[in-house]
Amino acid sequence: MSPRTSDAPQRVIDAAAQMLARVGLNATSIREVTKLADAPLGSTYHHFPGGKQELLARATLMAGDKVEALLVALLKGGAVQGLQQFLAMWRERLLRSGFRAGCPVLAAAVEEPMDAVPSQPRAAAADVFARWHDHLATALVAEGHAPAAAGELASLVIASVEGAVAMCRALQDIAPFDQVAAQLLRAVAPPAR
Amino acid sequence: MSPRTSDAPQRVIDAAAQMLARVGLNATSIREVTKLADAPLGSTYHHFPGGKQELLARATLMAGDKVEALLVALLKGGAVQGLQQFLAMWRERLLRSGFRAGCPVLAAAVEEPMDAVPSQPRAAAADVFARWHDHLATALVAEGHAPAAAGELASLVIASVEGAVAMCRALQDIAPFDQVAAQLLRAVAPPAR
């Protein structure tokens, strides 16, 4: 079996996450994703019998897992330092991509599928947001924030980073991201005792 | 001329904003929008000779104008009180819609059109974000924030409200919005002198 075939399912999931972030849930098609992944169409239908909804839910979870693993690793150095590094990486990603980099999890969250209700990708996005939230909140509590405040701050981080990426994509400018990052780092600073 | 015809262009723009927020940029079609608006298809092509890109840019601007007018009215009572009322209205909108209410401006920002580059709707979203930002920053300066901090806070408000709406749509839960709102109201409180 050639490598182009054996790792096809993973390449298809990667390609689906890319398309999801770029053109949205409804405009992503199994055919285009498979072409982008340079995979055989028959293999895609074989590995994702649930079709597009299943594939996009898997892509959302995979993208969420990657960010989660990164967050967990960075937060080991403390919530403030970890967030700082996470923001620096997203900043680079936006600049390097010419403001085309987007988040497949956000795309899965904001689009209602035209052909299936309830949305499996949306449920996957909910799962991902909840996991990111838990890691951030735990790290913020460890840094001295009260649990309720930590929960609020964790939601503020996720919401405002997602929103800032969208603003930068619209404006083709890094300024909104830098402004949001400055305020977030101020907000998560350990409370005075 | 019957009323169904004379106000058709406005109804078509309203319907386009609705579809944009719900199913995204690429999945919105002139045909479906015209059907939703109960308007004659020929009239849509007549009023929007630039086609889908023009119609969706107009819808993005119209949606942005509505929010801008609301913001301007609410911010007259001061930045903190105005933001509080604005957040309360969005909260109600999310709950009333069963978490289906979305923002057409965000949708225009995060999707690359499959059939046209550069994206007219994206440029419209940039224009809208910039205007919201200016009103918020001006109101925050009037409330005692330094200009640089006011600019950062204005971006934080826009980004985190957009992101919180997306999180609530995914999770089908108002909690992320309430958490973000609590932190935002704390962040925009007038600085101690």
pTM of the model: 0.95
A69 touches chain B (CB under 8 A): no
Q: What pLDDT was estimated at residue B191? A: 86
Q: Would you tell me which residues 80-109 of chain B have a C-beta closer than 8 angstroms to some C-beta of chain A?
A: 100, 102, 105-109
Contact A180 B109 (CB under 8 A): no
Rg (CA), chain A: 18
Please name the residues between 7 and 66 in chain A that touch chain B, using a CB distance below 8 Å.
Answer: 22-27
Tell which residue, B77, B58, B65, B76, has the closest CA to residue B20: B58
Q: What is the pLDDT of residue A2?
A: 46
A171 touches chain B (CB under 8 A): yes
Residue A4's pLDDT is what?
56
Distance from CA of A6 to the nearest CA of B (A): 30
Tokens standing for residue A36 = 């982008």
pLDDT at B28: 94
Is the confidence at residue A1, as pLDDT, over 70?
no
pLDDT value, residue B116: 64
Q: Which pLDDT tens digit goes with each residue over A138-168?
A: 999 999 999 999 999 999 999 999 999 999 9
pLDDT band, very low/low/confident/very high, at A60 (cuts 50, 70, 90): very high
Extents of the domains making up chain A: 3-187
Number of Cβ within 10 Å of residue B48's Cβ equals 23
Give the mean model confidence (pLDDT) for residues A27-35.
95
pLDDT at A192: 82
**B28 and B19 in contact (C-beta within 8 Å)?**
yes
Determine whether the interchain pair B158/A152 forms a contact, defined as Cβ–Cβ distance below 8 Å.
Answer: no
What is the model's pLDDT at position A48? 95
pLDDT for B2 equals 46
What pLDDT does residue B114 have? 79
Candidate from B108, B166, B175 with C-beta closest to A162: B166
pLDDT at A63: 97
Interface check A111 vs B, CB under 8 A: yes
Instruction: State the pLDDT confidence band at A113, using cuts at 50, 70 and 90.
Output: confident
Q: Mean pLDDT, to the nearest integer, of A26-43?
A: 94
Beta-strand (E) ranges in chain A? Answer: none
Q: Which residue has the higher pLDDT, B115 or A108?
A: A108
Is A45:A34 a contact under the CB 8 Å cutoff?
Answer: no
Q: What is the pLDDT of residue B5?
A: 58
- For the segment A45-59, the average pLDDT, to the nearest whole number, is 95
Check CB contact of A134 with chain B, cutoff 8 Å.
no
- For the domain spanning A3-187, the CATH number is 1.10.357.10
Residue A109 to residue B166, Cβ atoms within 8 A:
yes
Instruction: Find the angle CA(B151)-CA(B155)-CA(B157) to the nearest 5 degrees.
Output: 115
ipTM entry: 0.95
Closest chain A CA to residue B123:
A170
Q: Do A163 and B167 touch (CB under 8 A)?
A: no
- Residues A186/A179, Cβ–Cβ less than 8 Å: no
In this prediction, residue A140 carries a pLDDT of 98
Cβ–Cβ of A159/B162 closer than 8 Å?
Answer: yes
The two structure tokens encoding residue A40: 């055989």
| Residue B171 touches chain A, beta carbons under 8 Å | yes
Q: Return d(Cα A52, Cα B141) in angstroms, integer.
A: 48
Grouped pLDDT means (10 residues each) for chain B, 193 residues: 68 96 93 95 93 95 97 96 97 95 94 80 97 98 97 98 97 98 96 78
Mean of per-residue pLDDT scores for chain A: 93
pLDDT above 80 for A40? yes
DSSP-derived secondary structure for chain B: --HHHHTHHHHHHHHHHHHHHHH-TTT--HHHHHHHTT--HHHHHHH-TTHHHHHHHHHHHHHHHHHHHHHHHHHTT-HHHHHHHHHHHHHHHHHHTTS----HHHHHHH---SS-SS-HHHHHHHHHHHHHHHHHHHHHHHTT--HHHHHHHHHHHHHHHHHHHHHHHHHT-SHHHHHHHHHHHHHTSPPP-
